[in-house]
């Protein structure tokens, strides 16, 4: 199966706009996909969250839409249909822009260095940076899967600032100890480790158990 194509049977739940009035019946996570390379990580995170029955609140940036089209065969509408609630990046009046919105946390995957800089500086000029700012101030879990290399001093300083504010910087570094059969195995493992940070257990995630003897 080609991880980067949409030939698999996608779960089909219509995306819904929320009015913020409902009481959450299941755990909620905000997922943002930004324009950094590695959009497949965001797609696989959404699929994993659906299997865990997590209520997904999704934001896709303008450049993420372009990257998704370039890197995969998925359509943006396919991905939006996987979420329970979808917001535009300009909707600063969305429920997730308020600290009164009850949520486990927020995963930004992949996270561009522009988004990292906005969060580090507290510049809430779009819904992604505003929602991240809210998650930090409410002491919820914020995970940034930053995709960039090599890293400049500015990048490292921004990562440090976000970490000191309570966020987790999670570069999707491949775990070769799982002896992957392909890129898909590495993507799924990285996503599983990201979701570990929210206390979510992805079925089948291979974990290090020490040296294996033949």
List the binding residues for FMN.
35-37, 61, 112-115, 147
* Chain CA centroid to CA 178, Å: 22
Helices (H), 3-85: 39-51, 62-71, 76-80
Q: Point out the annotated binding site for dimethylallyl phosphate.
A: 177, 193
Is the Cβ–Cβ distance between 12 and 160 less than 8 Å? no
Q: How far is CA 201 from CA 12, 29, 153, in A?
A: 23, 14, 34
Between the CA atoms of 13, 18, 23 and 25, what dihedral angle is there, to the nearest 10 degrees? Answer: 10
Tell me whether the omega of the peptide bond preceding residue 150 falls within 30 degrees of 0, making it cis.
yes
Pairwise CA distance, residues 130 & 87, whole Å? 13
HSE-CB at 117 with a 13 A cutoff on CA atoms is: 9
Q: Point out the annotated binding site.
A: 35-37, 61, 112-115, 147, 177, 193
Pairwise CA distance, residues 44 & 42, whole Å? 5
């Amino acid at each position: 199966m080609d991880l980067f194509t949409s030939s698999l049977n996608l779960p089909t739940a219509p995306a819904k706009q929320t009015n913020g009035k409902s009481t959450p019946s299941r755990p909620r996570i905000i997922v943002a996909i930004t324009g950094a390379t590695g959009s497949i990580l965001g797609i696989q995170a959404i699929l994993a969250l659906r299997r865990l029955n997590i209520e997904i609140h999704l934001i896709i940036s303008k450049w993420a839409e372009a990257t998704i089209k370039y890197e995969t065969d998925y359509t943006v509408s396919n991905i939006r249909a996987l979420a329970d609630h979808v917001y535009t990046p300009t909707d600063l009046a969305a429920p997730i822009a308020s600290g009164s919105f009850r949520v486990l946390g927020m995963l930004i995957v992949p996270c561009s260095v522009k988004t990292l800089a906005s969060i580090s500086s507290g510049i809430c000029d779009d819904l992604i940076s505003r929602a991240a700012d809210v998650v930090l101030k409410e002491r919820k879990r914020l995970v940034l899967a930053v995709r960039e290399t090599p890293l400049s001093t500015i990048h490292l300083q921004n990562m440090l600032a976000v970490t000191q504010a309570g966020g987790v910087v999670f570069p999707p570094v491949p775990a070769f100890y799982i002896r992957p059969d392909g890129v898909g195995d590495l993507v799924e493992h990285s996503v599983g480790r990201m979701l570990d940070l929210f206390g979510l257990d992805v079925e089948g995630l291979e974990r290090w158990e020490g040296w294996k003897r033949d």
